Amino acid sequence: MIELFKQPNINWMGKAKYFYALSGILLLAGWTSIIVNGGLRYGIDFKGGTNVDVRFAQPPNVDKLRSGLVAQGLGNTEIQSISDISNPSSNEVLIFVEGKTQDDSDLDASRVKVLNALNATYGVASSNKPDFNAATPSSLAAFLSEKDPLFLSVNAGDRYQQLAKRILDYRDKVSSGVLTNFDDLSKVGSVTPPVLTAIKNNYALGPFAIRNVEIVGPKVGAELRSQAILVTLYALGGMLVYIAFRFEWVYGAAAVLAVFHDVLITLGFFSLLHFEISLTVIAALLTLVGYSMNDTIVIFDRIRENSRLLRKEPFADLVNKSINQTLSRTILTSGLTFLTVLVLFLMGGQVLRAFSFALVVGIVVGTYSSFGIAAPLVVAWNHWRGRGLAAGTGPAAGNKTSGSENVSGRLAPAGRR
């Protein structure tokens, strides 16, 4: 059999100082960055405003775009280009307009202004033909049915609807929403020369397409933000209660502290590398909470089991042994999961970028915190209670009659086996 570690014998608890120092440095760096930047960078979900995601046929001139926006009275906008490892020249930009007022018509107005600016700056002004890159399946189907370039007699409506859908699927899925040359459409099944000619004669090719519009009222943003924080705290509280019930409260507290530490460090990395916090990032943070908790419990479980078997062993040694015994599992699982999210981060496209970044950071930090933070905290607690000598009396915090029988009874709740 292939084995990563034969019999590891590492004194983890002896290195607790270094772990604390490392965590301290990471927390300090991240949160200094957060404070210097004036808080976390929230995505539109949490700050409100208007986001318009536009894809251009040619690389857009951002200065020209900005002056177009200013001409529409949108002085305070952020223009961010989106590129991708798999597609470095995606010609895509994200325009963000802050929404300061609660008035809904005003929010909608920003969208209209952005569209007007785009049309004025890049629009096909010379021709009055409709833009093919803005055509909807129903409008294209209606046009094809009227022209009837295939001279269909049976089920013409249905068949043109299917054809329209296929053509636009090509535009959206193969050329990512912006068609640059009508002739490309001939690759679509049953687009015959007459169909192509009909489309060419009727439509013009606009130089951009709107890929995504998000408008969130500022009140909603604030509400979502407080809700996300609350929900995370509730979930952590629920975990604390369960672990306290299954182990002891100090285990629950240590596990929750460790997970909290992971979330704080990940948020710090978000600030350092200028990623935005959105609702999907919250889902990723919750994933990381679950993952890190999982890792911690595996180690705690071993500690519980070992303290039944090795009552004479000093508690710190027992914890070391437990971590060493689960080490190959920890490395394997974390390594594989890390690989999964790394692939997602590299290949997942822009929508998944921030999401998978949270996981890439989170899995490393989450794995580290289970042996670097959670376990040392439990050991420190036991040491502080002056019971760090023998494992049997170790985790018996709050237990007045500290007989070892009693303790192991608590550590291995009755009825589990």
Partner 1 sequence: MNPNLKWRALSILLIILFCVYYLVGLPDFPKSFAQVKENFGHQIKLGLDLQGGTHLILQVQVQEAIAQETDQMVDRLTTELRAKNIHYDEVRRADDTHVLVRNIDPAQLSQFRDLVSAQYANVWDLTPTAGDPSGYTLTLRAAAIAQIKDSTMTQSLETIERRINALGLTEPTIQRRGGRNDNEILVQLPGEGDPTRAKAVIQAGGQLELRLVEDVRTYSSESEALAAHGGILPPGTELVPGRSETRNASGIQDTGVTWYVLSRAPVVTGRDLRSAIETRNTNNPGQFQVNFTLSPEAARRFGPFTETNKGRQMAIVLEHRVYSAPVINGRIDDSGLIEGNFSQESAHDLALVLRAGALPASIKYLEERTVGPSLGADSIRHGVQASVLSLVVVMLFMLVYYRFSGGNAVLALILNLIILLAVLALFGAVLTLPGIAGVILTIGMGVDSNVLVFERIREELRNGKSPGSAVDAGFDKAFVTIIDTHVTTVVSAFFLFLFGTGPIRGFAITLTIGLIANVFTAIYVSKTIFQYHLAKMDRQAELSI
Which lies closer to partner 1 via its Cβ, residue 400 or residue 416?
416
Which lies closer to partner 1 via its Cβ, residue 1 or residue 414?
1
Give, in degrees to the nearest 5, the angle at Cα 143 between 137 and 148.
Answer: 120
Question: Least CB distance from residue 158 to partner 1, whole Å?
Answer: 15
**Contact positions with partner 1 (CB under 8 A) in 48-67:** 53, 55
CB 303 within 8 A of CB 319: yes
- Residues 110 and 108: their CA atoms lie apart, in Å, by 5
Does 348 engage in binding with partner 1 (CB under 8 A)? yes
Question: Least CB distance from residue 78 to partner 1, whole Å?
Answer: 18
Does 230 engage in binding with partner 1 (CB under 8 A)? yes
Which lies closer to partner 1 via its Cβ, residue 302 or residue 387?
302
Does 145 engage in binding with partner 1 (CB under 8 A)? no
Extract the tokens encoding 365.
Answer: 């930090």
Does 235 engage in binding with partner 1 (CB under 8 A)? yes
Question: Least CB distance from residue 299 to partner 1, whole Å?
Answer: 10
Which lies closer to partner 1 via its Cβ, residue 282 or residue 379?
282
Which lies closer to partner 1 via its Cβ, residue 177 or residue 268?
177
Fill in the amino acid letter for 187.
K
Q: How many CA atoms, within 13 angstroms, populate the side-chain half-sphere of residue 113?
A: 25
Question: Least CB distance from residue 54 to partner 1, whole Å?
Answer: 10
Determine which residue in the list 10, 21, 71, 347 makes contact with partner 1, applying CB under 8 A.
Answer: 347
Does 408 engage in binding with partner 1 (CB under 8 A)? no
Does 131 engage in binding with partner 1 (CB under 8 A)? no
Question: Least CB distance from residue 314 to partner 1, whole Å?
Answer: 23
CB 30 within 8 A of CB 271: yes
Extract the tokens encoding 306.
Answer: 């070992």
Does 8 engage in binding with partner 1 (CB under 8 A)? no
Determine which residue in the list 176, 399, 406, 408 makes contact with partner 1, applying CB under 8 A.
Answer: 176
With b for 16 or more beta-carbon neighbours within 10 A and e for fewer, the 97-136 pattern comes to: bebeeeeeeebebbbebbbbbbeebbbbeeeeebbbbebe
Alpha helices in 247-314 (DSSP H): 249-272, 279-309
Which lies closer to partner 1 via its Cβ, residue 234 or residue 384?
234
CB 58 within 8 A of CB 206: no
Determine which residue in the list 98, 131, 184, 214 makes contact with partner 1, applying CB under 8 A.
Answer: 214
Q: From residue 68 to residue 107, what is the string marking binding to partner 1 with x (rule CB under 8 A)?
A: ------------------x-----------------x--x
**Contact positions with partner 1 (CB under 8 A) in 299-328:** 301-302, 305, 325-326, 328
CB 131 within 8 A of CB 113: no
Determine which residue in the list 62, 222, 231, 273 makes contact with partner 1, applying CB under 8 A.
Answer: 231
Chain center to CA of 293? 18
DSSP at 274: T
Which lies closer to partner 1 via its Cβ, residue 53 or residue 387?
53
Q: From residue 259 to residue 298, what is the string marking binding to partner 1 with x (rule CB under 8 A)?
A: --------------------xx-xxx-xx-xxx-xx--xx
Q: How many CA atoms, within 13 angstroms, populate the side-chain half-sphere of residue 235?
A: 17
Does 414 engage in binding with partner 1 (CB under 8 A)? no
Give, in degrees to the nearest 5, the angle at Cα 407 between 404 and 412.
Answer: 125
- Residues 299 and 293: their CA atoms lie apart, in Å, by 10
Query: Which residues have C-beta within 8 Å of that of residue 234, sequence separation ≥ 6?
Result: none
CB 179 within 8 A of CB 133: yes
Does 368 engage in binding with partner 1 (CB under 8 A)? no
Which lies closer to partner 1 via its Cβ, residue 79 or residue 283?
283
CB 16 within 8 A of CB 319: no
